[in-house]
Amino acid sequence: MHPTHHPSYEILLDYAAGNLPIAPSVIIATHCSICQDCNDTLDTINITGAALMDDLNDDIFDFSSLDKVLSKLEFQSNENDTKIENNNGVFDFNIPKTLQKYIPDSFNWKNLSSGVKTAELLTDDGFNLDIYKIKSGYQIPKHTHTGFEYTMVLDGGFTDNQKYFARGDFSLLDNSSEHSPKADPDKDCYCIVSMNSQIKLTGPIGRFINLINF
Amino acid sequence: MFFYSFNTHTKLPVYKCTDKTYAPNMKNDVLEDNDVIQDYSYLIDEIANNQNKQAFIKLFKHFAPRIKTFIKKTGLSLNEAEDLAQETMITVWNKAKLFKKDKSAASTWIFAIARNKRIDHLRKQKHPIPHTEDLLNESDLNINNHDLIIEKEQMFTYIKSEISKLPLEQAIVLKKSFFEGMSHIQISKDLSIPLGTVKSRIRLALTSIRKKMKGLH
Ligand SMILES: [Zn+2]
């Protein structure tokens, strides 16, 4: 699969070095698991980190710990690791393996508006990870965020600010971007979304919905 | 084409990763305590196939001090650094069978385990890692075959020497990311330089390293 929209190098570096919270990290890992190009960049980042670490040494290392470690080594049998079973949860499309362990067996869908449902997958370090279902043809009212919004399309697609986002595509928005994504007319769109902020609806109808739903 | 020639002072013969036969006297050579470049992939194979504790000791002597220094640098205590270095090495023993030498050098694999141990230590949930099976399922399998033939240990040695030649301003940003746990936004604040400058330094550094990696085939 060849997604068109990718996380930038600095986001991939933040993720790989462990400087990005878990929720957006799940989105980056999932994107990299289906994007050869970003996976290659990740290889570059990993080799870079390893090269820098290999240059470190510690002259005063106490090797007496070696005996302790050796005593803890156990014989490893030749059995293969158990394979993860496919678990698509309630979905009729393919959920990437990387994401599967965050998908619960049953969902507590919350209606955000007539065309949008969400369910929370996890929350950590100020960031939520949610799955969004946007009804086919539905356009989310114009809004901004008070923080960051990481998104990856799982199924279907949407158009936002004249760009098209299909399965696997990634988007990162900050508080400067106002947007109003519209789902494909013929198919419901599913995304994973991570935010550390509130949505602020900005259109005239949006301000009204703000009061009711958000 | 692969132009980089392996260091001549290594004791080990150059071989392709697909080659399962090794020089018969290699075992003694490789397990001898000396300063020559080690084939760490071979040592991990020894653990995977023969539960070879001598091979483990070799790996421990090289990697444990570096992992400990790394963890200490990131701001954790001496005890935490010691514990995580030991845990990493025990994981190397336990997961040796999962190491794929056609995919990465031993150093890249082991240091990634160490990095993930540090991240997991600081968080409630495990660091998510891309499941490569997804890529195999989804990609058109047009991966350049040369990728699989290149000896990853040689590649690592070469890339390491290239990384040491990076402009200082780029190296500093990378070190802050890996060793000081700073996001690119935090680096920009820490160095009092614009966010765009941090981003372009990261991009320049990674693009040039990536080009070097690609230039090998
Ligand atoms: Zn990508």
Number of domains making up chain A: 2
Dihedral pair phi/psi, residue B25, rounded to 5° = -90, 10
How does pLDDT run across A163-191, given as a tens digit for each residue?
A: 999 999 999 998 888 889 999 999 999 99
Q: Is the pLDDT of residue B12 over 60?
A: no
User: Residue A117 sits in which domain range?
Assistant: 105-208
CA dihedral over B148, A40, B60, B166, signed as positive or negative: positive
Q: Assess whether A131 and A202 both reside in one domain.
A: yes
| Range from B25-39, B80-94, B164-178 carrying the lowest mean pLDDT | B25-39
Which tokens go with B185?
Answer: 């936004």
A1 and B139 within 8 Å at the Cβ level: the answer is yes
pLDDT at B28: 40
CATH architecture of B166-217: Orthogonal Bundle (1.10)
A94 domain residue, yes or no = no
Q: How sure is the predictor about B210, in pLDDT bands with cuts at 50, 70 and 90?
A: very high
A13 domain residue, yes or no = yes
pLDDT at B144: 47
Q: Is the pLDDT of residue A41 over 50?
A: yes
Percent of chain B with pLDDT over 70: 74
CATH architecture of B12-127+146-165: Orthogonal Bundle (1.10)
How does pLDDT run across B189-203, given as a tens digit for each residue?
A: 999 999 999 999 999
Determine the distance separating the centroid of ligand 1 and the alpha carbon of A1, expressed in angstroms. Answer: 10
Q: How sure is the predictor about B7, in pLDDT bands with cuts at 50, 70 and 90?
A: very low
Report the pLDDT averaged over residues B5-22.
Answer: 36
Domains B12-127+146-165 and B166-217 share a fold: no
Q: Is the pLDDT of residue A147 over 60?
A: yes
Minimal Cβ distance to B57: which of A26, A58, A66: A66
pLDDT at B29: 42
Where a domain ends, among A52, A86, A120? A86
Q: Assess whether A72 and A111 both reside in one domain.
A: no
Q: How sure is the predictor about A203, in pLDDT bands with cuts at 50, 70 and 90?
A: low
Does residue B158 sit at the A interface (CB-CB below 8 Å)?
no
Place of tokens 């540090």: B118
Do B81 and B66 form a contact (C-beta atoms < 8 A)?
no
Which tokens go with B41?
Answer: 């992939």
A124 and B69 within 8 Å at the Cβ level: the answer is no
Strand partners, A194: A129, A150
A39 and B130 within 8 Å at the Cβ level: the answer is yes
Q: So what's the ipTM on this one?
A: 0.88
B213 and A75 within 8 Å at the Cβ level: the answer is no
For B176, name the nearest residue in chain A, comparing CA atoms only.
A17
How does pLDDT run across A92-146, given as a tens digit for each residue?
A: 899 999 999 999 888 889 998 889 999 999 998 889 999 999 999 999 988 888 8
Report the pLDDT averaged over residues A66-88.
Answer: 73
Mean pLDDT, rounded, of chain A: 87
Amino acid at B207: T
Mean pLDDT, rounded, of chain B: 80
A169 domain residue, yes or no = yes
Does residue B144 sit at the A interface (CB-CB below 8 Å)?
no
Q: Assess whether A47 and A121 both reside in one domain.
A: no
Q: How sure is the predictor about B35, in pLDDT bands with cuts at 50, 70 and 90?
A: very low
Q: Assess whether A111 and A204 both reside in one domain.
A: yes
Query: For residue B30, what are the CA distances in angstroms to A50, A147, B45, B189?
Result: 22, 53, 12, 47
Query: For residue B57, what are the CA distances in angstroms to B46, B49, B130, B157?
Result: 12, 16, 30, 21
A47 domain residue, yes or no = yes
Q: Assess whether A134 and A181 both reside in one domain.
A: yes
**What is the DSSP track for A122-158?**
EEETTEEEEEEEE-TT-BPPPEEESS-EEEEEEES-E
Q: Is the pLDDT of residue B150 over 90?
A: no
Report the pLDDT averaged over residues A198-206.
Answer: 62
Q: Assess whether A136 and A194 both reside in one domain.
A: yes
Where a domain ends, among A24, A57, A86? A86
Place of tokens 């002597």: B61
Q: How sure is the predictor about B137, in pLDDT bands with cuts at 50, 70 and 90?
A: low
Q: Is the pLDDT of residue B73 over 50?
A: yes
Query: For residue B97, what are the CA distances in angstroms to B91, B92, B155?
Result: 11, 9, 22
Where a domain ends, among A86, A117, A142? A86
pLDDT at A57: 81
Q: Is the pLDDT of residue A87 over 70?
A: no
Q: Assess whether A80 and A110 both reside in one domain.
A: no
Q: How sure is the predictor about B134, in pLDDT bands with cuts at 50, 70 and 90?
A: low
Q: Is the pLDDT of residue A208 over 60?
A: no
The residues near B71 (Cβ < 8 Å, ≥ 6 apart) are B80, B81, B84, B85, B114, B118
Q: Assess whether A200 and A109 both reside in one domain.
A: yes
Q: Assess whether A79 and A122 both reside in one domain.
A: no
Report the pLDDT averaged over residues A48-66.
Answer: 89
pLDDT at B191: 98
Can you give the residue ranges of every domain in chain B?
12-127+146-165, 166-217
